[in-house]
Amino acid sequence: MTAGALSELDQVRTRIDREIGGKTLLTEFEDAVREQGDAPALHWRTPTGWQSLSWSEYRAQVRRVAYGLKALGLSSKQFGVILARNRPEHLIADLGLLYARGVPVSLYNTLAPEQVAYIAGHCEAVVAFVEDVGMLARFEAVRDRLPMLAHIVLIEGHAPGTITWDELLARGDAAAAQEPAWFEAAPDEVKPDDLITLIYTSGTTGPPKGVMDSHRQVMWMAASGNTNLPDPDVEERHLSYLPLAHAFERYAGHWNAIIRREQVFFCPDLQNVFQYAAEIHPTVMIGSPRVWEKLQAGIQAALAAEPNSAIRQAVSQALEIGGQVAEYRMQGRELPAELETAAAKASVVWNGIRARVGLDQCRLGVTGAAPISPGVVAFFRSLDLPLVEGYGMTESTVGATMNPIGQERLGTVGRANTGLELRIADDGELLMRGGNVMQGYYKDPAGTAAAIDADGWLHTGDVASIDADGYVRIVDRKKELIITAGGKNVSPANLENLLKRCPLIGQAAVIGDRRPFIAALLVLDPDAVRPWAKHYGLSGLSLAELAAHPTLLADLQAAVDAANAEVSTAEQVRKFKVLPVEWTVDSGELTPTLKLKRRVINERYQAEIENLYAR
């Protein structure tokens, strides 16, 4: 960078530092409660309908939990873990720990007992909030390995050796009467550099690392990243459904929701996310690529199954017009009069489709956490849903880049957030530096030194390029790059996205490290396969039978050929195997953030892989 550019960057950082000076999540929460008062803050659904807490009621519950923790003996800087799905008690417990001068750590609700033991033991948690007796079993299986864990608070139900949620609140009420000023003093006593959480990486390779985030880093992230979001000048509604143990949801559905005064609606089950969306109509929607891919497949399957050919044709025409409109808007150009007229008519179709999945009032869709095919983004842009791709990592307090609305470039993750520096190292690795970079890894100075160099640059582990206008293109993870037997470097993520352009392919894993050629494991998308099978009169066949059917294999070969046409000869997929399964978090092939666990896949399907390379 030039000296002038650095000077401008320093000015931006000085402005951010001034803007967030002295602020913590607690001071923001207090301000939000004063401003919002009786306005709704948290919503959750029960068999009798939606329930809610106002901002004032939210604070009152946090106060009771904080005093309850004080009564249990929680000391300053001690850790508490939370094993629960997306529900109000999760956020209340999180804030209660912070007001009690402790540090909350959320656990993925898919963790095995061994993983629970590792994280709770690593941070030496003294208290655990657990949703129900089913999740409690994971603690009970390893309780003898957690000598520091003094108390377990059970949010639902009763179990020996635990404290119920109501009992904790009752203890809090008694403690509040003894020392009423203690809670109100927390926003002054908790400092910007104090930890706001540890976020443990999902651990696709090796044990997870505890990323240390402070209040200051979260405030800096918000000041830097919120310039990319629509101004919160409407009633903002956030649908919280991604794991709160992940930085994406923790930031968007908790920290930034407080900062932006958004209402949070909880969806405890990923499978029902768009049923919930149809009820609440979120104004900003976040999601990993798999969420958007599944939604696209569902919409396209519904269109293919539409018996009325006139309706199918009308929708196809509306999508084509939407694609043209998106191209103009992404370039910041005005629509020609003819296209504007066509768009006005097509908007009825766009709005109808978005309304069916609850996204008719969505002002912005954000995808991140893993690479996404540009075709998926283009599809939603053709529905007049401004879906943009961003990039970040747990170590950057979630965000680093985002495509700016009106200046998007498909296939890139956008430009650096305000005040953040990016550069490419000699080996192609993306480096970043800014106030949102983590403090380090908890109890791991060697790991911290390896991740953040002496000049403050965070080594992301991602291979990337940056064009002349600052747009970043992620190539792949350094450690996931395939090096074929011929010495060719191949990005599996790039090939996988090309393969997934075929609606029939729900998931793909490209293999070939130290192998003579590239191959792939393909997983069918059930939503797309069902109408395909009906079209060919094969509805009675099972998924396993379809996976071996010659007609389906021929269609998949055509999709592979189409993907191969866009890459070099050395990168082309020579063979593939269709698996009669669906990869999920529960089945073990995906992380809780829906990324491929490549090591697990390679081990689990070793026989199928070897058959692909058998002579």
Statement to judge: residues 493 and 567 lie in one domain? yes
Statement to judge: residues 135 and 55 lie in one domain? yes
Statement to judge: residues 79 and 111 lie in one domain? yes
| Cα 290–Cα 398–Cα 195 angle in degrees, nearest 5 | 135
Statement to judge: residues 315 and 252 lie in one domain? no
Statement to judge: residues 252 and 124 lie in one domain? yes
Q: Answer yes or no: is 302 within a domain.
A: yes
Statement to judge: residues 535 and 575 lie in one domain? yes
> For residue range 238-282, what is the model confidence (pLDDT) as tens digits?
999 999 998 999 999 999 999 999 999 999 988 899 999 999 999
Confirm if 99 and 26 have CB atoms less than 8 A apart: yes
Q: Answer yes or no: is 6 within a domain.
A: no
**In angstroms, how far is CA 545 from the centroid of its own chain?**
34
> For residue range 364-421, what is the model confidence (pLDDT) as tens digits?
999 987 778 788 888 998 999 989 999 999 999 999 999 988 888 888 999 999 999 9
Q: Identify the bridge partners of residue 24 per DSSP, sorted by sequence position.
A: none
Average pLDDT for the chain: 91
Cα 256 to Cα 34, 61, 110, 223, 225, distances in angstroms: 17, 20, 25, 10, 10
Q: Are strands 284-287 and 364-367 parallel, antiparallel or unpaired?
A: parallel
Q: Answer yes or no: is 446 within a domain.
A: no
Sign of CA dihedral 476, 477, 483, 487: positive
pTM of this prediction? 0.82
Q: Answer yes or no: is 238 within a domain.
A: no
Statement to judge: residues 263 and 298 lie in one domain? no
Q: How far is it, in rounded angstroms, from Cα 261 to Cα 283?
A: 13
Q: Answer yes or no: is 237 within a domain.
A: no
Share of the chain above pLDDT 70, in %: 97
Parent domain of 331: 285-434+468-478
Residue with tokens 């994971």: 138
Statement to judge: residues 289 and 250 lie in one domain? no
CATH number where 561 lies: 3.30.300.30
Q: How far is it, in rounded angstroms, from Cα 358 to Cα 276?
A: 8
Statement to judge: residues 428 and 486 lie in one domain? no
Statement to judge: residues 302 and 404 lie in one domain? yes
State the angle between helix axes of 273-280 and 289-305 in degrees (0 to 180), rounded to the nearest 10.
80
Statement to judge: residues 517 and 379 lie in one domain? no
Q: Identify the bridge partners of residue 507 per DSSP, sorted by sequence position.
A: 523
Q: Answer yes or no: is 11 within a domain.
A: no
Residue with tokens 């203690």: 182
Q: Answer yes or no: is 290 within a domain.
A: yes
Q: Residue 234: what pLDDT?
A: 78
User: Which region among 175-184, 246-255, 457-466, 595-604 has the lowest average model confidence (pLDDT)?
Assistant: 595-604
Q: Answer yes or no: is 159 within a domain.
A: yes
CATH number where 96 lies: 3.40.50.980
How many structural domains compose the chain?
3
Secondary structure of the chain: what % helix, strand, coil (to 5)?
45, 20, 35
For residue 423, which phi and psi values (nearest 5 degrees)?
-155, 165
Confirm if 130 and 108 have CB atoms less than 8 A apart: no
Q: Which of 94, 110, 255, 99 is CA-nearest to residue 175?
A: 99
State the angle between helix axes of 526-535 and 550-564 in degrees (0 to 180), rounded to the nearest 10.
120
Residue with tokens 């946090």: 62
Q: Which of 423, 499, 436 is CA-nearest to residue 464?
A: 423
Statement to judge: residues 253 and 313 lie in one domain? no
> For residue range 312-369, what is the model confidence (pLDDT) as tens digits?
899 999 999 999 998 888 887 888 999 999 999 999 999 999 999 999 999 999 998 7
